[in-house]
A and B are shown apart, each in its own frame.
Chain A
Amino acid sequence: MPLSTQGYRISEAKMMTETGEITIRTDEKYRRKSPFVDLWKHLKRNKLAVTGLAIVTVFIIVAIFAPVLAPYDPYKQDLTIRLLPPGSPGHLLGTDEYGRDMLSRLIYGARLSLLVGFSSVGFGLAFGVILGLLAGYYSTLDSIIMRIVDILLAFPGVLLALAIVSALGPGIANVIIAVGVWSIPTISRVVRGTVLYIKEMDYIAAAKALGETDFMILFKEILPNCVSSIVVYATMRLATAILSAATLSFLGLGAQPPAAEWGAMASTGRNYIFQAPYLTLLPGFAIILVVFGFNSLGDGLRDALDPNLKNAL
């Protein structure tokens, strides 16, 4: 173990025992080193997390630069070169039932997955964080919000998303809403738990004594302290969101043809499973890889940011 880290440990230990003056000083020293440097130090010791980070980085780069990276237009059909197997000249991963280039479709699929993942988690966060803050802070609202959350939690996740999509109709936008709504209850629970813990701390009492408004306390004092648990949770939630969006598309409720969406691609590929199994397997592997990436990164972040969360989640 590098000495410097040990050094931190000691100073942290001292922090607990010595006077407030010193505590503040160590704290500042700690902060000046930047949380990211520290986070990276923790993270890089975790091989799985580094793998996850690498996968996620590649995935995001592929998604952003899809038009540059894709060798062909993913929607260009050519019925004369249908179902070419992977490794065919000019088509590294083969072609699908309409002669569309599989590699290009997979690359563009990363875009859709990224879009659905980030926007649905963003949607879930927007509502979940606010609900969680309110429920945690105001005990009167707590029981109302949490009972509603309990009702939502009573539905198995995919079922809830299915019900929402069935009501709204198929389509990517509705999948984003459905997966987002499904994320709200869990996010608000996580946030509420953290808020309940933080609001009992002395500095909140101090802020109240100084006459800060509830709004200020919630968003300036409490929220920043929830960020680490939210980041950890959101990262893992991305994996779930991408997977459920693919599930919904696989069931025909998400992306509509001809969208290059991994779940939808795996679904249409099933008709050719005996003839061209790669049509289903390739998008399947892409989903596995990305979900694995986000999950391991999330695990690593959790260990690095807040060891206490390990048991909470």
Chain B
Amino acid sequence: MKKSLLIMLILVLTLSFTMTACSSGSQTNNQQAQTGETEKAQEVPQEVTYVSMTDAVGLSPILTNDSASSNVIREIYETLFMRDPKTGEIKPLLAESYENPDDNTWIIKLKQNIKFQDGTPFTSEAVKYTFEKIMDPKTASPRASLLKSVSSIETPDDYTVVIHTKEPYGIMLTALAHDNLSIVNPKADQNGDINKNPVGAGTGPYKFVEWVPGDHITLEKNPDYWQGAPKLDKVTFKVVPEMATAVSMLETGEADFLVGVPPEQLDRLKNNPDIDVIEMQGNPTRYLGFNFEKKPFDNLKVRQAISYAINRDAYIATLNGLGYKSRGIIGPKLFGYNEEIEQHGYDYDPEKAKQLLAEAGYPNGFKTTLTVGNTDVYMKMAPFIQAQLKEIGIDVELNVMDWASFLSYCKAGNQELCLNGWMNVTGDGEELLYPQFHSSNIGASNYSRYNKPDMDAMIMKTRVTVDQNQRYNYIREANIALTDDVAWIPMFNDVVTLAHRKNVKGITFESNGEFRLNDAYKE
């Protein structure tokens, strides 16, 4: 029975080792780098490793809708259009050009001589196949909402796609620039499960090699890439559930870059001479969400009470500059935001909260559960919210689960309260309103199960209006209505960060926290 003693000893030793290993590790790595430089200055292996805390859910753009999956999907597949990371303008990618003979028709010309990674030519047939598969209710694509307005797709020739819509679709191009509308190789999709094994499935700069679930995904250079082969030979997406470990890996050079530096590690990385940290006010927003189908969260007073009970300023102060406040649901980095929203929302006022709770018929509070995906950002927020709600008598039990289970649990509407976030891919407020609050997306991306005909009508206006000024106003109004209704409680907006080793260059980083590796290389 000395065993337990021994285990303890090992535990202590490992602990002290990890602490010393961090400093000594970076030293040995420096030495390696130096000797490497003197011996073979030019031949740095063109391989980078990205570390992330969560594994991809799947690798098919049709079947996934989470950032861990999208990060990989973006390198394998491509969309018809893309948003220029610098100017924010929509520009053609796989498409060549487009025209609108009328408000309900989009004629899109495709680039020629593009091949999928297995050599199959990229044609209009692939576009039709992909979009129809997403629209097919049997596929249950989580982002089917992107194509909900589409009535039919025609392919008059190999390089022309005609998309007909039921009503004017003001955000067609931003939708077509969305990762989840990446074009899939029909042959690859029919021959296998591209969600698990996307061999030859896209036209992107990197090809799929292997996926060891829970450990890593490896991609390799697509030498025949139509924009010219990328410089990197190999990209590894490594899963490291532990942020502190991920940060140490970055410091020792075991990993080359990561996004979403946690506030408690920020100073440490900034002070490291081998590492650069890029910080940018971003559009991802973190919120405390309600399930409107469960009592008492259908009661506005209860939602207001909860909002009054949470001291967001105090929480944001703990984020070391990596979060900023906005009181609206649509944040400052999205199209449709207007500063007037900062006059709405609710400030910390626990007395008011108790009073509202009493008015709602819960003078002694109630018991509820808060469902949390096991990710640092939410795991840190959960006990804070729990303690804040306890102050007004709401007894919160935490229900912690892994990220993939969390998403399906909330999609099915099992949660009461949940902590979640929304990262806007297109940068347009509509892309938050429609997926999160339109009743037709209940069971998919409308986790709150928000179901109000007025709001549905307002959201539809933001989608069908082609005039951009008018659209702006509709989104603005919807933002005010949702904020007043406490559709969710905005906790903070992210300052997005990417930390990379200084010798890794050319990573494109956007305010939605996304990165692209087309031009990346290692020195």
B318 in contact with A82 (CB, 8 Å):
yes
A291 to B7, CA, bound (A): 10
Chain B residues numbered 268-290 whose CB sits less than 8 Å from any CB in chain A: 268
Contact flags A179-215 to B (C-beta < 8 A → 1, else 0)? 0000000000000000000000000000000000000
CB-defined contacts of A170 to chain B, threshold 8 Å: 400
B1 in contact with A288 (CB, 8 Å):
no
Is B384 close to A, CB under 8 A? Answer: yes
Closest B residue by C-beta to A287:
B8
Nearest CB of chain B from residue A152's CB, rounded to whole Å: 17
Which one of A22-30, A58-66, A72-80, A130-138 contacts B?
Answer: A72-80
CB-defined contacts of A281 to chain B, threshold 8 Å: 15
CB-defined contacts of B384 to chain A, threshold 8 Å: 77, 79, 98
A79 in contact with B315 (CB, 8 Å):
yes
Is B376 close to A, CB under 8 A? Answer: yes
Does more than half of chain B's interface fall in helix, strand or loop, or is it mixed? helix
A114 to B163, CA, bound (A): 67
Does more than half of chain A's interface fall in helix, strand or loop, or is it mixed? helix
Which one of A13-21, A35-43, A216-224, A270-278 contacts B?
Answer: A270-278
Nearest CB of chain A from residue B406's CB, rounded to whole Å: 14
A284 to B19, CA, bound (A): 15
- With A271-B376, A273-B19, A295-B1 already in contact, the answer to whether A284 and B11 are too (CB < 8 A) is yes
A256 in contact with B244 (CB, 8 Å):
no
Closest B residue by C-beta to A299:
B1
A270 in contact with B387 (CB, 8 Å):
no
Contact flags A236-262 to B (C-beta < 8 A → 1, else 0)? 100110010000000010001110000
A271 to B22, CA, bound (A): 14
A288 to B13, CA, bound (A): 12
A287 to B12, CA, bound (A): 11
Interchain Cβ contacts within 8 Å, total number: 87
A98 in contact with B19 (CB, 8 Å):
no
Is B2 close to A, CB under 8 A? Answer: yes
A258 in contact with B243 (CB, 8 Å):
no
B398 in contact with A298 (CB, 8 Å):
no
Greatest chain B CB density within 10 A among A288, A298, A313 is at A288
Contact flags B283-316 to A (C-beta < 8 A → 1, else 0)? 0000000000000000000000000000100110
B8 in contact with A288 (CB, 8 Å):
yes
Closest A residue by C-beta to B16:
A281
Greatest chain B CB density within 10 A among A257, A272, A277, A288 is at A257
Contact flags B189-233 to A (C-beta < 8 A → 1, else 0)? 000000000000000000000000000000000000000000000
Total contacting residues, chain B, CB less than 8 A:
39
Is A127 close to B, CB under 8 A? Answer: no
CB-defined contacts of B22 to chain A, threshold 8 Å: 274
Contact pick for B400, options A97, A252, A272, A291, CB 8 Å: A252
B15 in contact with A257 (CB, 8 Å):
no
Total contacting residues, chain A, CB less than 8 A:
35
B5 in contact with A280 (CB, 8 Å):
no
Is B359 close to A, CB under 8 A? Answer: no
B315 in contact with A257 (CB, 8 Å):
no
B383 in contact with A98 (CB, 8 Å):
yes
A243 in contact with B244 (CB, 8 Å):
no
Nearest CB of chain A from residue B51's CB, rounded to whole Å: 15
B12 in contact with A256 (CB, 8 Å):
no
A280 in contact with B262 (CB, 8 Å):
no
Greatest chain B CB density within 10 A among A236, A268, A274, A288 is at A274
Chain A residues numbered 55-106 whose CB sits less than 8 Å from any CB in chain B: 75-77, 79-80, 82, 97-98
A252 to B380, CA, bound (A): 13
Is B386 close to A, CB under 8 A? Answer: yes
Contact pick for B317, options A79, A257, A284, CB 8 Å: A79
Nearest CB of chain A from residue B214's CB, rounded to whole Å: 15
Is B242 close to A, CB under 8 A? Answer: yes
Closest B residue by C-beta to A80:
B314
Contact pick for A243, options B8, B265, B397, CB 8 Å: B8
A239 in contact with B264 (CB, 8 Å):
no
CB-defined contacts of B400 to chain A, threshold 8 Å: 170, 252, 256-257
Contact flags B15-59 to A (C-beta < 8 A → 1, else 0)? 100110010000000000000000000000000000000000000
A270 in contact with B244 (CB, 8 Å):
yes
B386 in contact with A258 (CB, 8 Å):
yes
B5 in contact with A292 (CB, 8 Å):
yes
Nearest CB of chain A from residue B368's CB, rounded to whole Å: 15
A240 in contact with B15 (CB, 8 Å):
no
CB-defined contacts of B311 to chain A, threshold 8 Å: 79
- With A256-B398, A256-B400 already in contact, the answer to whether A77 and B387 are too (CB < 8 A) is yes
Is B94 close to A, CB under 8 A? Answer: no
Closest B residue by C-beta to A253:
B400
Is B4 close to A, CB under 8 A? Answer: yes
A90 to B318, CA, bound (A): 21
- With A273-B244, A291-B8 already in contact, the answer to whether A236 and B1 are too (CB < 8 A) is yes
CB-defined contacts of B12 to chain A, threshold 8 Å: 284, 288
A272 in contact with B314 (CB, 8 Å):
no
Chain A residues numbered 129-181 whose CB sits less than 8 Å from any CB in chain B: 170
- With A79-B315, A79-B318, A240-B4 already in contact, the answer to whether A272 and B264 are too (CB < 8 A) is yes
A300 to B400, CA, bound (A): 42
CB-defined contacts of A288 to chain B, threshold 8 Å: 8, 12
A280 in contact with B7 (CB, 8 Å):
no
Is B183 close to A, CB under 8 A? Answer: no
CB-defined contacts of A97 to chain B, threshold 8 Å: 264, 318, 380
Is B70 close to A, CB under 8 A? Answer: no
Contact pick for B5, options A274, A277, A284, A291, CB 8 Å: A291
Chain B residues numbered 353-378 whose CB sits less than 8 Å from any CB in chain A: 374, 376
CB-defined contacts of B264 to chain A, threshold 8 Å: 97, 271-272, 275
Contact flags A277-305 to B (C-beta < 8 A → 1, else 0)? 10011001001100110010010000000
B244 in contact with A271 (CB, 8 Å):
yes
CB-defined contacts of B268 to chain A, threshold 8 Å: 274-275
- With A79-B314, A79-B317, A257-B382 already in contact, the answer to whether A284 and B4 are too (CB < 8 A) is no
B15 in contact with A284 (CB, 8 Å):
yes
A52 to B317, CA, bound (A): 45
Closest B residue by C-beta to A236:
B1
- With A252-B400, A256-B400, A284-B15 already in contact, the answer to whether A274 and B265 are too (CB < 8 A) is yes
Closest B residue by C-beta to A295:
B5
Greatest chain B CB density within 10 A among A82, A239, A256, A291 is at A256
A313 in contact with B11 (CB, 8 Å):
no
A184 to B262, CA, bound (A): 43
Write 12 A-B pairs (CB below 8 A) sorted by A numbering. A75-B387, A79-B318, A243-B4, A252-B374, A252-B400, A271-B262, A271-B264, A284-B15, A287-B8, A288-B8, A288-B12, A292-B8
Q: A270-B244, A275-B268, A288-B12 are in contact. List 17 more A-B contacts (CB 8 A).
A: A75-B390, A77-B388, A98-B383, A98-B387, A236-B4, A239-B4, A240-B1, A243-B4, A252-B374, A257-B379, A257-B382, A268-B379, A271-B376, A284-B15, A288-B8, A292-B5, A295-B5
Q: Which 3 A-B pairs have the closest CB atoms?
A: A236-B1, A79-B314, A77-B387
